[in-house]
Amino acid sequence: MHQTITQLTWLVLQLTKRDIGQRYKGTIFGALWPVLFALANLSIYTFVFSFVMKVRWPNLQDPTEHPGGFALTLFAGLIPFLLATDVINRSPSLVLAVPNLVKKVPFPLIVLSLVNVASAAFQSLINFALLMVFTVLLWHTLPWTVVLAPLVYLPLLLLCLGISWTLSALGVFIRDLVQVMPLLTQLLMFATPIFYPRSAIPGAFQHILAFNPLTLVVEDFRGTMLFGTQPDWYLWGATTVAFGLFAVFGMWLFNRLRPAFSDVM
């Protein structure tokens, strides 16, 4: 059992390195693309929401005390969201992209989702480092709660695993998911408190927003990275358990449908 886990861990690490390398293979900027992509997103959204729409964030109104406050707050909300959308958009085609492994090779297909999440987490780690650098440069400090950020990510990673196993299994049979997911993630972006605080939403809609599984993660990550606030540990624990159970369900569904993959590919 221990040997099997070790072998699977080694396989996931090797495939993750390969996946990250293939994303930018042959490009001029190579591994710099995740950084450039993050900076481009930050610049565009900051310009639109801060200068055009003049959105303001509570407690960050004084630019002399919190220079770049809206940009940092926006970026902190985008980081966990981009991880989730990266996983969601790639998941429906994970199995479809490797027909040879499905039909001819006794390969543990279940690791594809692990690689998918690990690769997205690596991209997110780059954004995480950029946020810390920008925060120190602009605010000259980091709250001690930054050390809690990995704990905030735990339920997000479990959620992403569950989503990836579920969508990659269903994507074999429902090919439309490949086209539908980018649209759904666009809608999800505006249903997540990234560009606005939850307090800016009318009370009735705040309860609806709470059903978005990314809301709590985004708010907790933003609080620990910028505002020195700890997560609500009761909600964090309940969310972690719920997303862990969802990950188990996704794994079960994937294994349940796995024997039928070769019949439809």
Backbone φ/ψ region at 30: left (φ over 0), alpha (ψ -120 to 50), beta: left
pLDDT averaged over every residue in the chain: 86
pLDDT tens profile 240-250: 999 999 999 99
Give the pTM: 0.89
- Two tokens at 119? 């690769």
C-alpha to C-alpha distance for 85 and 91, rounded to whole angstroms? 10
User: Of the spans 180-184, 244-248, 261-265, which averages the highest pLDDT?
Assistant: 244-248
pLDDT tens profile 25-77: 766 666 677 777 777 877 777 777 667 766 667 666 555 456 677 888 888 99
pLDDT tens profile 75-124: 899 999 999 999 999 999 999 998 888 877 788 899 999 999 999 999 89
Q: What is the pLDDT of residue 246?
A: 98
| Neighbouring residues of 130: CB distance < 8 A, sequence distance ≥ 6 | 35, 38, 39, 75
Instruction: Judge contact between 95 and 169, C-beta under 8 A.
Output: yes
pLDDT tens profile 202-235: 776 777 777 889 999 999 999 999 999 999 999 9
What SS3 string covers 170-220?
Answer: HHHHCCCHHHHHHHHHHHHHHCCCCCCCHHHCCHHHHHHHCCCHHHHHHHH
